Structure 1
Amino acid sequence: MTISPTELPVLDYLHAQLAGTLTDDQTCQFRYPTAISRTLGIRLKAVLAGRAVVEMDTDPAVHGNQQGTVHGGLLTELADAAIGTAHSTVVGPGESFTSIDLRAVFLRPVWRDTLRAHAYPTHSGRTITHYQCDITRSDGKPVATVVSIVTTLEGERSQRR
């Protein structure tokens, strides 16, 4: 017996994933969790339309730079994962998206900790959305602020992404 897949809106899919109620036949237009999130251990913690919270456990033995702290590129990836997840909840069927700018400001070093990234829009237009992502460590202190501009792709431009 073949089960035909049921495609859900991204937000519904992610809510079901968080609730643990996702069934094998349910899909959405994007891949969640993403391959990079699985590889790095990035976990979705909360999602609303245009907003997402993700977290990950860091360890300088795995994620460290030459100074022995967590690499800034990992912090940037964590923010990009949160921003991409947030934006995926607001694109329509047949649309896709891509970042066109990403800038990080690092506020303090991180060692072994659980980091949480909160992404939210600061301005939303028809095809361009500006996001901010605040990354905090487990004691609530800020680690980095990342801003990104994301463009929604429609029609032929959205294909093969």
Structure 2
Amino acid sequence: MNNEYPVLEYLTKYLENDLSENDLSHMIYPTAISKTLKMDIDSIKLGEAIVKINANVKFHGNQQGTIHGGLLCELADAAIGTAHSTLMKKDESFTSVDLKINFYRPTWNTILKAHAKPIKSGKTLTHYECTIYNDENKKVAYITSTVMTLKGEKAKGR
């Protein structure tokens, strides 16, 4: 018999290594892209998440030999999506409306952590901020994003 949990409870159990093979949520965790890029959830709260990656220029580098900005965008998007998913009910889903990133410093081989939290939450639109830090706790990038909550029929198949 399957045990279905709300996303926040599911992810809390996931982080505590307390999931059984019958435990599930209406959202898929870990996500396929997170598994592919080897990103992990570091911490989770209602509406807030920290997602990390062990960034390595051999795998994530650009032509200058630093970590590619697209990886930073994906890390921020994963943190924002994880944060927002904790707010979703079973018949709800969401989609990103926009994402803006400011790059503060280049980075190389390091553990990057993206901390996402809401700036302003509404019934349909939520505005997030996300700061990415390196393993020296220096700001690497600052991201803002708007996420739209989809309900009922609009959420089906998403």
Report the TM-score when normalising by structure 2. Answer: 0.99
- Equivalent residue, structure 2, for 1:126: 123
**Partners in 1 of 2:108 and 2:64 — Cα distance?**
10
**Which residue of the other structure, out of 85, 89, 111, is the alignment partner of 2:108?**
111
Q: Give the unaligned 5+ runs of structure 2.
A: none
**Partners in 2 of 1:135 and 1:15 — Cα distance?**
22
- Equivalent residue, structure 2, for 1:150: 147
- Equivalent residue, structure 2, for 1:50: 47
Give the counterpart letter for 2:13 in structure 1: A
Moved over 3 A (4+): none
- Equivalent residue, structure 2, for 1:77: 74
**Partners in 1 of 2:131 and 2:138 — Cα distance?**
10
**Partners in 2 of 1:39 and 1:110 — Cα distance?**
21
Give the counterpart letter for 2:145 in structure 1: S
- Equivalent residue, structure 2, for 1:29: 26
**Partners in 2 of 1:88 and 1:144 — Cα distance?**
22
SS at match of 1:103: strand
SS at match of 2:9: helix
For residues 1-20 of structure 1, the aligned pairs below 5 Å read 4-20=1-17
- Equivalent residue, structure 2, for 1:100: 97
**Partners in 2 of 1:48 and 1:59 — Cα distance?**
28
Give the counterpart letter for 1:111 in structure 2: W
Q: Give the unaligned 5+ runs of structure 1.
A: none
Q: Structure 1 vs Structure 2: percent identity of aligned residues?
A: 49
Alpha carbon RMSD of aligned pairs, Å? 0.5
Give the counterpart letter for 2:98 in structure 1: D
Report the TM-score when normalising by structure 1. Answer: 0.97
**Partners in 2 of 1:91 and 1:124 — Cα distance?**
13
